[in-house]
Chain A
Amino acid sequence: MLTSQLFQGDAVLQAIADDNDRMSRRRHGRGEAARKIQTALLTWNPGVLPRFGADGKYGDETAAAVRRFKIEELGVAPADVIDDVGPRTVNRLDEIQAAAEAPTPPPPPPPPPAPTTFIRRDVWTLQSAAPWDPITEAYARAVRTMQARPASDPTSWEFQAAMHATFTTPANPLWNGCQHASWFFLPWHRMYLFFFEKIVRAAVIANGGPADFALPYWNYDQPNPRNTLPQPFREATLPDGTPNPLLQAAPLRDPGIATGAELPSVRTSSTRAMNSTVFTAPAGPTFGGPASAPSNLDGGFGLLESQPHNIVHVLVGGRRPDSATDCSLARMTEPRCAALDPIFWLHHANIDRLWNRWLDLGGGRANPTDAAWLNQRFSFADENGATVQLSASDVLDTVAQLQYEYDDRPAVTPAPPIVVPVAPRAELIGATEDAVAVAERVTVPLLIPESNRSRFMDLARDVSGAFLSIENIEATHNPGVVFDVLLNQPDADADPRRFLVGTFTLFGVELMNNPDFVHEGAPGMNHQFDIADVISGLLAMDLWNPDTITVTIEPVPPPAPPGERQQTVEELGIEPIHVGRIALFAMERDDLVS
């Protein structure tokens, strides 16, 4: 049965196809059937009837074309070819014609588009089965690619790290841009990671890795083993046996952390920061930090920046002797070296994630609406090495504006935050009389003047907030240990968790000391801790007394490598740091005053 539209219904061609007839110069040599055969031959090969085309006459040209068709298409030996048209020729021409008449087949499906939203995943989820996962391996290979680029290339590893801060001089205008102890801390680091991730993704794709690559994050505030350094950052080699660029062995990292010591949850917990409902305020501890001009380090830290950000930097980086003036050790401890450690970027992805999760909590949590915060522009380099600028208003919605999200995004979109009018009025209640030098555990009394004794007792009432301010902290270098602050701890043996106000570090103190860096409170670092909960506990134990209130500051030995003995405070042997004042403030919020 003929199937092409051209041949279908033609009795002569059907008879030939059924082997009841044939076509030659003399038989059916003129007419529609001959024209149809010629047309089909032209479909097979448009150049086969050059002179007469489909003229409906079976002449020498058509006979030669049929002969050629039989040899080339049907595989008949030239000696056996007869130049007339039989069933095999008609049926094959019918197939070719039918295929040509069929509508154009749809084009092959386009390659799957790049995902519209890149997902940053928990690095410990990626590596649950084996140390390496396609994402972490792609990251490692991209780091190696970037490390091989010259430092003058904005997409190189060194250039990217120097954009945070660097010892190298003279500095490129894009270097030394990091924002700390400021309300720009969170947006600046979000922009920094966004462009870094684009550069890494371009390198990942060039290396044949996954096109949907997104930076993983390290959420250390989880049970063992997730509170230890992720495995890909401890492996000596990649799966193919080549050196692992993610490995930064001691002394580049703290010897304990580098070999799997745990980060203690009391110091990596973001609970204090997440409980705060205010991004910024004129006084007191806030989630995002105090308003400031763009500056490498202003005077006071936001709660999330202080803990876990600063603390994880110092715990992962480890001890740094005063004599250190380069990046050959304790990289994460020093802002001018920190971004050279590949774990830096996973740590900051976690901080960036916590900013999103904080907003999801609602209850009045909201980003600032001040134009000075929203519109301040910062410069970075994109994956092509071009200079690009963003402001905080460009990075508030990571999905809509930056095309990425974290894998723990809540399924339910939270209600729009309620804006709580906040006008904190901070008032000094008491303070230390002298500066304090801290090289080991130090306990100092807070002087509560007679005129403030009733206000002091009022701090235990709900209408008042209270915060402890550790002020004008100075040191030549960040010693690379963290310091616990305890309120009214009766003695060294008492359970410290009951009296712990918080933990601070000197992360960034070198930038503050440097008179040529742009900073506004320097030297003199401030850390503030909300102490409402601790006061309630002290009141219950009858320890809230203006005559006996003390503050203890204690350097904390770094976590010991697994199986090794924990260092004691005395064995630390750190150079003393100087605290200008420890002050107790009452804070009244308009919305809390009855």
Chain B
Amino acid sequence: MNRHPQWWVVTVAAAAWIALAATGTHAGHHAPSSYTAWILMSVATAVPMTLPAVRHVYHNSIRVRRQRATVVYLVAYTMVWAAFGAAVLGLAALLPLHIVAPPAIAVTLLIVAGVWQLTRTKTRALHACRRTVSLPPQGRRADVACARFGLMQGRRCLVSCWPLMLLMALVPMHLAAMVVLAAFMYAEERTRLGREMVRQASALLAVAAIGVAAFT
């Protein structure tokens, strides 16, 4: 428990994947047609990426506050994704997106994601993934600092991978495709190879765009 303080956070993320699989449409295609689905998807994909920060919060809080601090951090972190989802789904409802074929949206967003990989902003966002906020030991200040840390990390993560999250928000896709995208984002954030190959990964996204265009 002390060595793996994030165990229940992993459980929550796993539960979100199971819920996504269980509530899928008959054809096995998923799209966050509801806001609830978007929240499930955010928890399933974005929470695993922030586990090092969860560990940091846990180990930098006094013993009696560790779980509370972790919850405050995660709520703030998830709120960033919730706000992003609300904005995206709200806009999508207003725009005549239904006249555009989903594969066309997917190809466009994969190309955008590929170009985004080449930007300095993207690289900087990844480099800053271990930036922290100092946590006071107790009281309201400690809660505020945990919340600030969660918002900061959520925002940084959003800057890093918004095109792919947008893709998952707007395009109905098979659960397997969602797993692949989540694994891609996880590798970038959490593995050395992923961080070193940011620009090269652009080619993978280009291949994916061509694949979608050719086979749909």
Contacts and interface: CB of A to CB of B under 8 A. Distances in A.
- Mutual binders A and B: yes
Interface of A: 283, 293-294, 299, 425-435, 447-449, 451-452, 471-472, 515-524, 580-581, 583
B128 A515 contact: yes
Nearest to A450: B138
Give the interface residue-count category, chain B.
20 to 34
Interface stretch (B32-40, B76-84, B119-127, B173-181): B119-127
B130 A521 contact: yes
B128 A522 contact: yes
Given A520-B127, A522-B131, A524-B131, A447 B63 contact: no
Top 10 closest pairs, chain A to chain B, by CB? A580-B134, A581-B134, A515-B124, A293-B192, A431-B137, A433-B136, A449-B138, A520-B130, A451-B64, A472-B134
A448 B2 CA distance: 21
Contacts of B64: 449, 451
Interface in B62-121: 62-64, 120
Contacts of B136: 431-434, 447, 581
A414 to B, nearest CB: 33
A452 B63 contact: yes
Contact of B60 (A434, A448, A522, A583): A583
Nearest to A521: B130
B5 to A, nearest CB: 11
A456 to B, nearest CB: 11
Contacts of B120: 516
Contacts of B129: 520
A447 B139 CA distance: 11
A435 B134 contact: yes
Contacts of B60: 428, 583
Contacts of B139: 433
Contact of B2 (A299, A425, A447, A581): A425
Nearest to A426: B59
Contacts of B192: 293-294
Contact of B135 (A299, A448, A581): A581
B195 interface: yes
Given A519-B127, A521-B130, A428 B61 contact: yes
Contacts of A523: 131
Interface in B119-168: 120, 123-124, 127-139, 141
B63 to A, nearest CB: 6
A428 B59 contact: yes
Q: Could you say which of A428, A430, A434, A580 has the most chain B C-beta atoms within 10 Å of its C-beta?
A: A428
A583 B138 CA distance: 12
B137 A516 contact: no
B59 A451 contact: no
A429 B65 CA distance: 12
Given A447-B138, A472-B132, A581-B134, A293 B195 contact: yes
B128 to A, nearest CB: 7
Contacts of A425: 2
Given A447-B138, A452-B62, A583-B60, 18 more contacts: A294-B192, A428-B59, A431-B135, A431-B136, A433-B141, A447-B137, A448-B137, A449-B62, A451-B64, A516-B124, A520-B127, A521-B130, A521-B131, A524-B131, A581-B134, A581-B135, A581-B136, A583-B137
23 contacts: A427-B63, A429-B62, A431-B135, A431-B136, A431-B137, A432-B136, A435-B134, A447-B136, A449-B62, A449-B64, A451-B63, A452-B63, A471-B134, A472-B134, A515-B124, A520-B130, A521-B130, A521-B132, A522-B127, A522-B130, A524-B131, A581-B135, A581-B136
A431 B63 CA distance: 13
Given A433-B136, A472-B134, A516 B123 contact: yes
A136 B191 CA distance: 46
Nearest to A583: B60
Which among A293, A431, A432, A516 has the highest number of chain B CB atoms within 10 Å?
A431
A446 to B, nearest CB: 9
Contacts of B130: 299, 520-522
Contacts of A580: 133-134
Contacts of A524: 131-132
Contacts of B195: 293
Contacts of B62: 427-430, 449, 451-452
Contacts of B141: 433
A435 B195 CA distance: 31
Contacts of A516: 120, 123-124, 127
A510 B12 CA distance: 39
Interface string B168-205: 00000000000000000000000010010000000000
A293 B52 CA distance: 14
A522 to B, nearest CB: 7
B193 to A, nearest CB: 10
Contacts of B132: 472, 521, 524
Nearest to A584: B137
A254 to B, nearest CB: 32
A428 B137 contact: yes
A283 to B, nearest CB: 7
Nearest to B66: A428
Contacts of A581: 134-136
